[in-house]
């Protein structure tokens, strides 16, 4: 029957005070009319959303438990709509996290300081301080010399024939004489827990994320400006119609026409993508070229041929530059992989089923590591155990 089932997402939006469309409100009201227990459940859920007391902190676990009991009693035999334990959360969490994240960020410290029956974050040993990433990099010059960078002191790093390299305000900038025709390559290497901004000799600016490398010439002397990327970087390319700018990743060639875009291309990861924020680029793979418009993304499955073009919100993929870790219905394993690179830690799952939990929301890129884990733990059925720089991911007991 049409009114036999209403998404938990709709109920959650209703009890948290979000405005529903006319169709959604009618759907919910029709659903509640079928059985008085349904209306009672929604009313009780609304009352229980805020615990009694002066703190007024949402009690998500109690709501989830009551939803379990209600669906088990009121909707028996409905296949695929309610599963116990971890699998159930794959349906619930993507929307729940979107609703809860802003509220949780505001009230996180209040909630975690309350007395609760279990610790929010377990640790078998006194954990070392795990800090977010910072400006760290090294540059290997064409003669093999290595420059170690930390972004703290403005300085003149290198003066060679026809080349000057400066560090200023956390940015490395290259200045090369245009009459130098010898092509010499440098390599910038960003470690785990690092990031850096690089200004190439043509004025192109590149922001590199953790565990990334970029190989580039000191001076662009050829007809094409070619760089090679491994990892993630955001580019603002200086326009030069006579010299196209090309980014090579091993899986694709990105031809740029003066623009701003983000490239995610970590070796060993199944998915790579190029997201265009403004301007125009083309992405080539295996002899085929695809053109992107702003707000589009080219996705590559490294195990399959071809490219898939999708419409996306560019800020979701570019806002790491502004201190955000945007997440939209992403797998827990993929989220923790990004956190591992940024916080320089290793996550170990002791239950592979946990990898497929999903999570949505905006995390603060420079937040305390333990607070990030607590926030994820609040809306998933996992527990994190910190052991030095290794974090065990296990089912919540």
User: Same structural domain for residues 144 and 284?
Assistant: yes
Between the CA of residue 75 and those of 40, 81, 241, 379, what are the distances in Å?
A: 15, 9, 64, 24
**281 contacts 274 by C-beta, under 8 angstroms:** yes
pLDDT at position 74 is 54
User: Same structural domain for residues 113 and 231?
Assistant: no
| Structural domain ending residue among the three candidates 258, 291, 318 | 318
User: Same structural domain for residues 158 and 63?
Assistant: no
pLDDT at position 217 is 95
d(CA 1, CA 331): 32
CATH, residue 333: 3.55.50.30
User: Same structural domain for residues 93 and 159?
Assistant: no
Total tally of structural domains belonging to the chain:
3
User: Same structural domain for residues 169 and 144?
Assistant: yes
User: Same structural domain for residues 277 and 149?
Assistant: yes
pTM for the full model? 0.70
Instruction: Scan for tokens 């701003």, then name that residue.
Output: 260
Instruction: Scan for tokens 């830690």, then name that residue.
Output: 345
Range of the domain at 160: 134-318
d(CA 27, CA 344): 47
User: Same structural domain for residues 108 and 212?
Assistant: no
Tens of pLDDT along the chain (397 residues)?
445 556 666 777 777 776 777 777 887 887 887 777 787 777 777 776 655 444 444 445 455 555 555 655 554 433 333 333 333 333 334 444 444 444 444 334 334 344 343 444 555 555 578 999 999 999 999 999 999 998 777 888 888 878 899 998 779 999 988 777 888 999 999 999 999 999 999 999 999 999 999 999 999 999 999 999 999 999 999 999 899 999 999 899 999 987 999 999 999 899 999 999 999 999 999 889 999 999 999 999 988 888 999 999 998 899 899 898 888 889 999 999 999 999 999 999 999 999 999 888 888 999 999 989 988 888 778 999 999 999 999 998 7
**348 contacts 391 by C-beta, under 8 angstroms:** yes
CATH, residue 259: 2.60.120.1440
d(CA 50, CA 377): 19
User: Same structural domain for residues 8 and 155?
Assistant: no
């Amino acid at each position: 029957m049409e009114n036999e089932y209403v998404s938990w997402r709709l109920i959650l939006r209703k009890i948290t005070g979000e405005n529903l469309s006319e169709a959604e409100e009618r759907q919910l009201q029709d659903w509640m009319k079928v059985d008085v227990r349904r209306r009672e459940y929604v009313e009780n859920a609304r009352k229980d959303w805020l615990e009694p007391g002066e703190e007024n902190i949402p009690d998500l676990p109690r709501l989830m438990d009551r939803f379990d009991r209600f669906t088990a009693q009121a909707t028996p035999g409905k296949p695929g709509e309610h599963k116990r334990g971890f699998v159930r959360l794959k349906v619930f969490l993507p929307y729940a996290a979107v609703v809860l994240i802003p509220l949780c960020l505001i009230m996180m410290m209040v909630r975690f300081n309350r007395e609760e029956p279990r610790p929010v974050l377990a640790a078998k040993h006194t954990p070392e301080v795990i800090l977010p990433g910072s400006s760290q990099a090294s540059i290997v010059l064409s003669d093999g010399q290595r420059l170690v960078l930390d972004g703290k002191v403005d300085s003149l790093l290198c003066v060679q024939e026809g080349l000057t390299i400066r560090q200023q305000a956390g940015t490395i900038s290259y200045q090369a004489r245009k009459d130098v025709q010898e092509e010499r390559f440098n390599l910038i290497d960003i470690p785990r827990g690092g990031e850096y901004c690089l200004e190439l000799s043509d004025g192109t600016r590149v922001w590199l994320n953790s565990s990334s490398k970029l190989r580039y010439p000191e001076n662009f002397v050829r007809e094409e400006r070619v760089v090679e990327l491994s990892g993630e970087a955001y580019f603002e390319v200086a326009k030069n119609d006579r010299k196209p700018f090309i980014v090579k990743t091993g899986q694709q060639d990105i031809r740029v026409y003066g623009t701003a875009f983000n490239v995610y291309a970590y070796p060993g990861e199944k998915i790579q993508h190029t997201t265009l924020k403004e301007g125009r680029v083309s992405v080539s793979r295996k002899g085929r070229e695809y053109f992107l418009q702003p707000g589009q993304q080219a996705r590559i499955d490294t195990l399959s041929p071809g490219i898939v073009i999708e419409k996306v919100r560019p800020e979701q993929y570019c806002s790491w530059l502004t201190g955000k870790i945007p997440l939209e219905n992403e797998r827990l394993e993929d989220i923790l992989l990004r956190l591992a690179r940024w916080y320089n830690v290793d996550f170990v799952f002791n239950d592979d089923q946990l990898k497929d939990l999903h999570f949505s929301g905006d995390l603060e890129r420079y937040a305390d590591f333990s607070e990030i884990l607590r926030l994820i733990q609040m809306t998933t059925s996992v527990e994190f155990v910190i052991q030095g720089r290794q974090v065990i991911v296990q089912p919540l007991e």
